[in-house]
């Protein structure tokens, strides 16, 4: 899907709605209140559906991330497409200029799309899994370990080799925190977990029940970066993409919203080889709960 295709195929709000309806209700409209599958369309305004069972009017965007938006749907679509196509992220300022809207509208819009890119119900990672942490403050990401960067935000990265990537805005990089991420996101049947020599990992592995030979350590301190299959290069390459996003596109990410940017980055990264990235993003948007401006800025 290119921006040109998009403007041709979804030139009107009605066409955008037809697509959203197919994505939200593949087997036909369903009342969001009582799940009745026979709502009627209002004769003069077919975008409005009416449920006789529970006497409720709704549209395909009711109760979703689009809720209460006065922005034409094509602007939502164009912004979502630009976000999908921007491997390193795209700023609200760029959306303001390219799609055409006020800066505050663009900022809020990007955050709503980002929220829809949050994954739920993720399968545990297995096979060979790499874990690494990085430290971020202001616009800079830092290599190195926690005691050196007291006022930085910690980002933990976990990547299954040949599989999915996850980033977390962690409270710290201590063993207890790392053990929690390992338990929550890595399968008990994992073959190997590779980390660097950060002193918190051995205890984290014990706490998480990963014993002995399944934890491999690469000694970056000794300038060893790859020892056969033992390296953390694939999670580090994802960190460098994140770094380029923060320095190059978003310029500055506040601690408050860091987790949301991490979700956007991993959502896109994990679907980078899928041809339906844009449609899947729209599907997430039309099934995600609303995010009010008050909640976002609270
Ligand atoms: Zn109903």
CB of 53 closer than 8 Å to CB of 36: yes
CA of 29 to the centre of ligand 1 (A): 11
CA of 296 to the centre of ligand 1 (A): 29
Most confident of 49-53, 228-232, 235-239: 49-53
What six digits make up the tokens of 222?
A: 């000794």
Bridge-based pairing of strands 153-160 and 128-137 is: antiparallel
CA of 36 to the centre of ligand 1 (A): 5
pLDDT digits (tens, 9 = 90+) for 78-101: 999 999 999 889 999 999 999 999
CA of 32 to the centre of ligand 1 (A): 7
CB of 219 closer than 8 Å to CB of 195: no
Confidence bin at 139 (pLDDT 50/70/90): very low
pTM of the model: 0.91
CA of 287 to the centre of ligand 1 (A): 17
Task: State residue 226's pLDDT score.
Answer: 79
Mean pLDDT on 117-146: 79
Q: What percent of the chain has pLDDT over 90?
A: 77
CA of 63 to the centre of ligand 1 (A): 13
Q: How many alpha carbons lie under 13 Å from residue 223 in its C-beta half-sphere? A: 0
CA of 291 to the centre of ligand 1 (A): 23
CA of 57 to the centre of ligand 1 (A): 8
Give every CB contact of residue 1 below 8 A, 6+ residues apart in sequence: 81, 278, 279
CA of 38 to the centre of ligand 1 (A): 9
Give every CB contact of residue 29 below 8 A, 6+ residues apart in sequence: 21, 37, 39, 49, 60
CA of 39 to the centre of ligand 1 (A): 7
Q: What are residue 181's phi and psi, to 5 degrees?
A: -65, -40
More confident residue, 120 or 175: 175
Residue 230 pairs in a beta bridge with 227
CB of 208 closer than 8 Å to CB of 187: no
CA of 55 to the centre of ligand 1 (A): 6
CA of 44 to the centre of ligand 1 (A): 20
CA of 88 to the centre of ligand 1 (A): 42
pLDDT digits (tens, 9 = 90+) for 162-171: 999 999 999 9
CA of 120 to the centre of ligand 1 (A): 26
Dihedral angle at the C-alpha atoms of 277, 280, 282, 283, nearest 10 degrees?
A: 180
CA of 41 to the centre of ligand 1 (A): 13
Give every CB contact of residue 296 below 8 A, 6+ residues apart in sequence: 108, 111
Confidence bin at 143 (pLDDT 50/70/90): low
CA of 53 to the centre of ligand 1 (A): 5
pLDDT digits (tens, 9 = 90+) for 242-258: 988 887 777 778 888 99
Q: What percent of the chain has pLDDT over 70?
A: 95
CA of 15 to the centre of ligand 1 (A): 25
Q: What are residue 261's phi and psi, to 5 degrees?
A: -65, -35
The CA distance from 114 to 116, in Å, is: 5
């Amino acid at each position: 899907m290119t921006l040109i295709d998009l403007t041709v195929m979804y030139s009107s709000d009605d066409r955008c709605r037809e697509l959203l309806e197919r994505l939200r209700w593949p087997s036909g409209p369903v009342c969001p209140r009582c799940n009745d599958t026979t709502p009627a369309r209002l004769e003069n305004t077919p975008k409005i559906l009416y449920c006789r069972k529970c006497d409720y009017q709704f549209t395909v965007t009711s109760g979703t991330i689009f809720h209460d938006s006065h922005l034409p749907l094509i602007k939502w679509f164009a912004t979502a497409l630009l976000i999908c196509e921007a491997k390193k992220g795209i700023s609200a300022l760029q959306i303001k200029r390219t799609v055409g809207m006020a800066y505050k509208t663009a900022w809020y819009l990007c955050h709503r799309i980002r929220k829809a890119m949050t994954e739920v119900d993720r399968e545990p990672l297995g096979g060979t899994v790499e874990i690494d942490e990085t430290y971020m403050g202001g616009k800079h990401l830092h290599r190195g370990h926690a005691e050196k960067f007291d006022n930085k935000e910690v980002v933990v990265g976990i990547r299954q080799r040949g599989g999915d990537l996850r980033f977390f805005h962690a409270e710290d990089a201590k063993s207890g925190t790392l053990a929690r991420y390992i338990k929550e996101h890595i399968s008990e049947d994992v073959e190997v977990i590779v980390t660097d020599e950060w002193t918190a990992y051995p205890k984290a592995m014990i706490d998480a029940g990963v014993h002995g030979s399944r934890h491999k350590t690469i000694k970056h301190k000794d300038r060893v970066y790859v020892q056969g299959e033992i390296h953390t290069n694939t999670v580090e390459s994802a960190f460098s993409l994140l770094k380029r996003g923060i320095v190059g596109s978003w310029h500055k990410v506040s601690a408050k919203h860091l987790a949301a940017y991490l979700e956007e980055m991993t959502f896109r990264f994990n679907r980078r080889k899928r041809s339906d990235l844009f449609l899947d993003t729209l599907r997430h948007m039309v099934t995600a709960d609303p995010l009010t401006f008050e909640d976002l800025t609270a």
